[in-house]
Structure 1
Amino acid sequence: MAPPERRRRTTQRDIARRAGVSQATVSLVISGGAASTQIADPTRRAVLAAAEELGYTANVAARSLKGGRNRLLGLYTFESVFPTDQRDFYYPFLLGVAEETARQGYDLLLFSSSGASAGATAGSDTRGAGAGGTGGAERSIYVGGANRLKIADGCVLLGRNVRREELSALVREDFPFVFVGRREVDDGELSYVAADYVSATGALVAELARLGHRRILYLRALEDSEPTRDREEGYRRGLADAGIVPDEALIRTLADPADLSIERVEEWIGGLGITALLVEPTEDNRLTEALATMAGTERVRFPTDCSLALLGDPPSWTPESRDWTRFSLPRAEMAGQAVRVLIELLDQEPPEPRQVTVRCAYVPGDSIGPVPTRVERKPEPQPDGGPGT
Structure 2
Amino acid sequence: MSPTERRRRPTQVDIARRAGVSQATVSLVISGGAASDQIAESTRRAVLAAAQELGYSANIAARSLRGGRNQLLGLYTFERFFPTDQRDFYFPFLLGVEEETARQGYDLLLFSSVSSVNSAADRSIYAGGVNRLKLADGCVLLGRNVRREELAALAREDFPFVFVGRREVDEVELSYVAADYVAATRAMVAELTGRGHRRILHLRAVGDAEPTRDREEGYRRGLAEAGIPVDESLVQELADPAQLSAEHLRRWIEEDGVTALLVEPTEDNRLVEALADLARRTPFQFPEDCSLALLGEPPSWTPELRDWTRFSLPRAEMAREAVRLLVELLGQTTPTPRQLFVPCAFVPGDSVGPAPDRREGRP
Q: TM-score, normalised by structure 1?
A: 0.88
- SS in structure 1 of the partner of residue 64 of structure 2: coil
Distance 1:306 1:249 in 2: 18
CA offset digits 1:41-80 (Å, max 9, x no partner) = 4322321221122221111111111111111111111112
Structure 1 match to 2:108? 108
Q: Report how far residue 137 of structure 1 moved.
A: 5.2
Structure 2 match to 1:309? 293
Q: How does 1:1-389 map to 2 (within 5 A)?
A: 7-8=6-7, 9-33=9-33, 35-82=35-82, 84-114=84-114, 116=115, 135-136=119-120, 138-297=122-281, 299-373=283-357, 375-378=358-361
Q: Report how far residue 107 of structure 1 moved.
A: 1.2
Contact 2:77–2:143, Cα closer than 8 Å, also in 1? yes
- SS in structure 2 of the partner of residue 140 of structure 1: coil
Distance 1:348-1:83 versus aligned 2 partners, 3 A rule:
closer
Q: Report how far residue 349 of structure 1 moved.
A: 2.6
Q: Report how far residue 29 of structure 1 moved.
A: 2.3
More off after superposition, 243-252 vs 30-39: 30-39
Structure 2 match to 1:121? none
CA offset digits 1:240-293 (Å, max 9, x no partner) = 111111100100111111101122111111121100000000111211110110
- SS in structure 2 of the partner of residue 63 of structure 1: helix
Q: Percent identity?
A: 75
CA offset digits 1:309-360 (Å, max 9, x no partner) = 0000111211111110000010000000000100111112332101000000
More off after superposition, 362-371 vs 79-88: 79-88
Gaps spanning 5+ residues in structure 1: where?
A: 118-132, 380-389
Q: Report how far residue 206 of structure 1 moved.
A: 0.2
Q: Report how far residue 136 of structure 1 moved.
A: 4.4
CA offset digits 1:137-166 (Å, max 9, x no partner) = 521111233111111111101011211111
Distance 1:29-1:286 versus aligned 2 partners, 3 A rule:
same
Q: Report how far residue 112 of structure 1 moved.
A: 2.4
Gaps spanning 5+ residues in structure 2: where?
A: none
Distance 1:186-1:59 versus aligned 2 partners, 3 A rule:
same
Contact 2:83–2:90, Cα closer than 8 Å, also in 1? no
Give the AA of the match of 1:377. E
Q: Report how far residue 17 of structure 1 moved.
A: 1.3
Distance 1:136-1:165 versus aligned 2 partners, 3 A rule:
closer
- SS in structure 2 of the partner of residue 7 of structure 1: helix
Q: CA RMSD in A?
A: 1.9
Distance 1:329-1:200 versus aligned 2 partners, 3 A rule:
same
Give the AA of the match of 2:210. E
Contact 1:113–1:134, Cα closer than 8 Å, also in 2? no
Distance 1:7 1:214 in 2: 54
Q: TM-score, normalised by structure 2?
A: 0.94
Contact 2:162–2:177, Cα closer than 8 Å, also in 1? yes
More off after superposition, 211-220 vs 314-323: 314-323
Structure 2 match to 1:386? none
Distance 1:235 1:159 in 2: 25
Distance 2:356 2:39 in 1: 82
More off after superposition, 19-28 vs 152-161: 19-28
Contact 1:6–1:173, Cα closer than 8 Å, also in 2? no
Distance 2:251 2:176 in 1: 40
- SS in structure 1 of the partner of residue 349 of structure 2: coil
Give the AA of the match of 1:46. A
